């Protein structure tokens, strides 16, 4: 579309003042809007529409809705035989929302394959507030009371919006994804949004769906728009996730 352009938002604009996602740029893929703020209301309105913030320090706040979208649907997750054997012997456990700050700061830490981080201090503050109000969550993998991996993201209704994950030991973040897969199997959730396709995610079975199909799913899964609170009361030992 020759008339595609990035829309500028101000903090005074209503939280829902995003343009339609099909007006996002094709290059860079999915750039839709700039500006606004990271208020809880705007973030929740964005995710329900298939939009997420992603920007570096020194850039304006940028909002994205790429096409296609990378997701995990029920039955997608691929658990290799080798990883299954390793997890069968694991003594690690999974906890929920006990160390949100540690998880998001670990996700913001330096990576071998990139310089800097898009998880700025402002982003950390915004998602911490969403965690306090029940919208943002951390899935944590612990070994001998040490946090070795995990992920964080938002849950609205039955839609999980994964933001970032980290591993301090091999396969720790895969354990967190396996937990989400088991909740997909149990129909607790309808999809896990991974935002942008990567070879790593595809190797684990992630699907790539057109943006229009993705937003159609969100229209159903995000209603009613309620925080998720159905986590297990006690930690899960990793072998319990395996379907033997």
Asked whether the predicted pLDDT for residue 41 surpasses 70, the reply is yes
Q: Is the omega angle on the peptide bond into residue 83 within 30 degrees of 0, that is, cis?
A: no
Q: Which residues pair with 141 in a beta bridge?
A: 94, 149
Task: Please check whether residue 173 lies inside any domain of the structure.
Answer: yes
116 pLDDT band, cuts 50/70/90, is very low
Asked whether the predicted pLDDT for residue 235 surpasses 80, the reply is yes
* Residues 157 and 76 occupy one common structural domain: yes
* Residues 150 and 226 occupy one common structural domain: yes
Task: Please check whether residue 151 lies inside any domain of the structure.
Answer: yes
* Residues 150 and 224 occupy one common structural domain: yes
* Residues 88 and 46 occupy one common structural domain: no
Domain-terminating residue out of 67, 84, 108: 67
- pLDDT above 70 covers a percentage of the chain that reads 95
Task: Please check whether residue 162 lies inside any domain of the structure.
Answer: yes
What pLDDT is stored for residue 57 in this prediction?
A: 82
Helical axes 121-132 vs 100-107, angle rounded to 10°: 150
113 pLDDT band, cuts 50/70/90, is very low
154, 42 in Cβ contact below 8 A? no
192, 72 in Cβ contact below 8 A? yes
What pLDDT is stored for residue 243 in this prediction?
A: 73
Domain-terminating residue out of 25, 40, 67: 67
pLDDT average, residue stretch 79-99: 95
pLDDT average, residue stretch 147-172: 96
Task: Please check whether residue 1 lies inside any domain of the structure.
Answer: no
Task: Please check whether residue 61 lies inside any domain of the structure.
Answer: yes
* Residues 189 and 225 occupy one common structural domain: yes
Query: Which pTM does this prediction carry?
Result: 0.94
Distance CA 136, CA 152 (A): 7
What pLDDT is stored for residue 112 in this prediction?
A: 52
* Residues 143 and 33 occupy one common structural domain: no
Q: What is the maximal distance between C-alpha atoms in the chain?
A: 57
* Residues 133 and 216 occupy one common structural domain: yes
Asked whether the predicted pLDDT for residue 85 surpasses 90, the reply is yes
Task: Please check whether residue 90 lies inside any domain of the structure.
Answer: yes
109 pLDDT band, cuts 50/70/90, is confident
What pLDDT is stored for residue 159 in this prediction?
A: 98
Range in 61-70, 84-93, 94-103, 112-121 the model is least confident about: 112-121
What pLDDT is stored for residue 1 in this prediction?
A: 42
What pLDDT is stored for residue 111 in this prediction?
A: 54
φ and ψ at 94, to 5 degrees?
-110, 130
CATH of the domain at 234: 3.40.630.70
φ and ψ at 127, to 5 degrees?
-75, -25
- pLDDT above 90 covers a percentage of the chain that reads 89
Task: Please check whether residue 2 lies inside any domain of the structure.
Answer: no
* Residues 50 and 166 occupy one common structural domain: no
CATH of the domain at 33: 3.30.70.3550
Domain-terminating residue out of 50, 67, 84: 67
pLDDT average, residue stretch 10-38: 97
- CA atoms within 13 Å, Cβ hemisphere of 238: 27
Which range marks the domain in which residue 56 is found? 7-67
Strands (E) in the chain, as ranges, are 7-9, 31-35, 52-53, 62-64, 69-72, 93-96, 136-143, 146-156, 159-167, 191-195, 207-209, 236-237
* Residues 81 and 140 occupy one common structural domain: yes
* Residues 101 and 217 occupy one common structural domain: yes
What pLDDT is stored for residue 114 in this prediction?
A: 47
Range in 134-138, 183-187, 198-202 the model is least confident about: 198-202
* Residues 106 and 224 occupy one common structural domain: yes
3-state secondary structure of 142: strand
Domain count, the chain: 2
pLDDT average, residue stretch 182-193: 97
Asked whether the predicted pLDDT for residue 4 surpasses 80, the reply is no
Q: What is the CA radius of gyration of the chain?
A: 18
């Amino acid at each position: 579309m020759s008339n595609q352009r990035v829309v500028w938002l101000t903090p005074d604009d209503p939280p829902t003042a995003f343009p339609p996602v099909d007006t996002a740029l094709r290059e860079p893929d999915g750039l839709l809007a700039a500006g606004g703020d990271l208020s809880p209301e705007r973030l929740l309105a964005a995710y329900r529409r298939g939009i997420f913030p992603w920007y570096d320090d020194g850039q304006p706040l940028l909002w994205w809705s790429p096409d296609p979208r990378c997701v995990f649907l029920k039955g997608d997750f691929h658990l290799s035989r080798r990883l299954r054997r390793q997890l069968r012997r694991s003594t690690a456990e999974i906890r929920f929302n006990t160390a949100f700050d540690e998880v998001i700061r670990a996700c913001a830490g330096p990576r071998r394959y990139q310089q800097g981080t898009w998880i700025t201090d402002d982003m950390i503050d915004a998602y911490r507030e969403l965690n306090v109000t029940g919208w943002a969550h951390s899935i944590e993998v612990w070994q001998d009371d040490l946090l070795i991996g995990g992920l964080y993201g938002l849950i609205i209704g039955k839609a999980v919006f994964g933001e970032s994950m980290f591993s301090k030991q091999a396969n720790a973040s895969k354990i967190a994804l396996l937990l989400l897969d088991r909740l997909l199997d149990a129909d607790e959730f309808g999809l896990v949004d991974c935002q942008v396709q990567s070879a790593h995610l595809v190797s684990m079975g992630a699907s790539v769906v057109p943006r229009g199909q993705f937003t159609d799913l969100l229209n159903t899964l995000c209603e009613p728009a309620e925080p998720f609170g159905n986590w297990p009361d006690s930690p899960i030992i990793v072998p319990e996730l395996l379907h033997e």
